[in-house]
Structures are given as structure tokens and as C-alpha cells.
């Protein structure tokens, strides 16, 4: 796995291609409707349970974590976006697929008869569960995958493979756990972390400002603070995440965002992760925050 390190992955491991841990919790979460209108979670549930449905004869899942910047992307007039969006770089889905493809190439060279499939949010895979099973990190009370020594600012990638790779064990509790800490649950402005490890996505600002089809309402605008895309608060308070204070003024002002047309947005952000939320959604978010600040 020297290749994975040299490509910038900060943690990796191998999970067995069996039912991921926390599958039953996923089913319960869906039954309770806490995924909101992210209906894709409901589809292909069978595949989330059994990776061999995604790759015939799958024997192992290589799980990899790749870090993203801790600098908060900001506008010159004081608004910000979630760090994962990395608005100066190409969409991480594209970048990581390429990097993981190189790791898959190594697996193929070592096991010439094997087949592999790279997944970067592109298939129904229980990525955090598998990463925890593989010892890449542990799942925190904020439901993020936390890599000890690195934190939770990581993208997750999976390589399903028919190669007979030995599994790596989950981390022992002594290597990393939340312990008595409850900061993320306490800080959540939306009450979305209803209890440790239990997220109601319908209340979560990340969901409401990115995935949810309808515009955010006035109450949501009020608790968004200055963040116009996503929300990092339950990560910012986490003691496993150090150095999250610096900002990078790399976004246009809120006025410039609101005045942008499709062509201008696509020219500047069409290749970035911001394009997934889309210009209309970002404008609606800005308007909601501004409206909540108006007396």
C-alpha cells in the first residue's frame, strides 16, 4: 500500500465483502424516514448489504481516506462554504477516481486474474461502516468517520475487488473513540444530532443547503449563520480536528454570487463540487441567510 500513501491517502484498510456493520441501523434510519428526500438510499438496499451484487465474486473492499483542506472557503463579505467543497479544485469525485484507479492498478498487477471496481459516492456502498470495519478510522458521535491523527476532514473511497486480500481489523477503542465527549451533539444548531450517532438528515444543514430540493425556510436561514453551503460545526468542535481556524477568501462576494448567470457560474465552478449543489441552490441559501439577518 505504499502506492496509496504516495498518492496522498492518509489511511486505508481492507474490509471483508460481507454485511457491513451498522446495516441494521441503516434500515432503521430509512424506516424512520430520516433520510428525507435522499431516496437513493432506499434504492438498491440489497446492494448496500452485499457488495458482491456490485462486483460479482467480490471478496474484499479496500477502503481509503483522502484528506481535504481544513481552510474554510470564504467570500470577501463574510460568508463561507463547507470545507469539503474545495472550490478551487476539480470535483473530488473526479480527482479521487483517478487516484484510486492507480491503486486498483497495483491490485491488478499483484493479482492478475482479479477484477476491481472503484466507488467514489458512485455506488450504493456503506462507506463509513466498511471503513470502520477495515480500521481506517472510527465512527464518531457526529456520524463522521474519524481517522485518529488526521480527523474527519477526509473523503472516503472504496475499491471492490475479487482479489483475495486479507482483511485488516477495526481499530481498538484505545486507538480512538469519542469517550465522554459530546461536543458535536451539544453544538448542533439544528438538533439534527438527536443523540450520539443518530442523525436526522431532515434537520441537518448540510442536507438542507445541498441535497434538499426545496429552498431553505426562514428558520433554517436563521441558524445557518454565515455558511451558505453545508455546515461544518459538528466537525469544528471535534477534538480530533485540529487547525480548522484558517480561512481562504476564494469565493466571490455574496452579491457577485447573486448576480451570476449560468455561464459565469459554470465557467468558474462547473468542474468543482459546488456544481453539485448548483447555482440556484446557492443563491437560495444566500437569500435565506440575508433575509434572516434583516430586522
List residues near ligand SF4 by CB under 6 A: 140-142, 178, 181-184, 188, 190, 192-193, 199, 204-206, 231, 233-234, 237-240
Output 12 or 240, the one with its CB closest to ligand SF4: 240
Whole-angstrom Cα distance, residue 67 to residue 54? 26
Output 17 or 231, the one with its CB closest to ligand SF4: 231
Min separation Cβ 184 and ligand SF4, Å: 3
Whole-angstrom Cα distance, residue 188 to residue 204? 9
Min separation Cβ 212 and ligand SF4, Å: 12
37 given a catalytic annotation: no
Output 116 or 129, the one with its CB closest to ligand SF4: 129
Q: What is the DSSP letter of 7?
A: T
Min separation Cβ 143 and ligand SF4, Å: 8
Helix (H) or strand (E) segment spanning residue 198: strand 198-199
Q: Give the contacts of 52 (CB within 8 A, at least 6 positions apart).
A: 17, 58
Q: Give the contacts of 291 (CB within 8 A, at least 6 positions apart).
A: 218, 221
Q: Say which of 91, 121, 200, 256 is annotated catalytic.
A: 121
Q: Residues 95, 8: contact at Cβ < 8 Å?
A: no
Output 53 or 215, the one with its CB closest to ligand SF4: 215
β-partners of residue 227 are: 80
Min separation Cβ 147 and ligand SF4, Å: 12
Return the active site residues: 121
Amino acid at each position: 500500500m505504499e502506492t496509496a500513501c504516495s498518492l496522498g491517502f492518509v489511511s486505508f484498510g481492507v474490509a471483508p465483502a460481507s454485511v457491513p456493520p451498522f446495516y441494521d441501523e441503516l434500515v432503521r434510519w430509512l424506516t424512520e424516514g430520516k433520510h428525507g428526500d435522499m431516496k437513493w438510499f432506499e434504492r438498491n438496499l440489497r446492494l448496500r448489504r452485499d457488495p458482491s451484487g456490485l462486483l460479482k465474486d467480490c471478496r474484499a473492499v479496500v477502503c481509503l481516506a483522502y484528506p481535504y483542506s481544513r481552510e474554510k472557503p470564504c467570500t470577501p463579505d463574510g460568508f463561507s462554504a463547507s470545507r469539503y467543497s474545495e472550490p478551487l479544485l476539480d470535483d473530488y469525485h473526479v480527482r479521487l477516481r483517478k487516484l484510486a484507479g492507480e491503486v486498483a492498478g497495483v491490485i491488478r498487477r499483484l493479482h492478475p486474474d482479479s477484477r476491481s471496481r472503484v466507488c467514489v459516492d458512485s455506488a450504493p456502498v456503506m462507506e463509513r461502516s466498511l471503513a470502520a470495519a477495515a480500521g481506517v478510522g472510527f465512527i464518531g458521535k457526529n456520524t463522521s468517520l474519524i481517522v485518529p491523527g488526521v480527523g474527519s476532514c477526509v473523503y472516503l473511497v472504496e475499491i471492490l475487488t475479487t482479489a483475495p486480500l486479507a482483511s485488516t481489523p477495526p481499530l481498538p477503542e484505545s486507538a480512538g473513540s469519542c469517550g465522554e465527549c459530546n461536543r458535536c451533539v451539544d453544538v448542533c444548531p439544528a438538533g439534527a444530532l438527536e443523540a450520539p450517532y443518530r442523525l436526522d438528515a431532515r434537520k441537518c444543514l448540510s442536507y438542507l443547503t445541498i441535497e434538499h430540493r426545496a429552498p431553505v425556510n426562514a428558520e433554517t436561514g436563521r441558524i445557518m449563520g454565515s455558511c451558505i453551503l453545508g455546515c461544518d460545526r459538528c466537525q469544528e468542535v471535534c477534538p480530533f480536528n485540529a487547525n480548522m481556524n484558517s480561512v481562504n477568501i476564494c469565493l466571490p462576494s455574496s452579491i457577485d454570487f447573486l448576480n451570476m448567470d449560468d455561464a459565469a457560474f459554470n465557467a468558474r465552478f462547473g468542474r468543482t463540487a459546488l456544481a453539485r449543489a448548483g447555482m440556484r441552490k446557492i443563491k437560495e441559501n444566500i437569500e435565506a441567510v440575508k433575509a434572516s439577518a434583516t430586522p
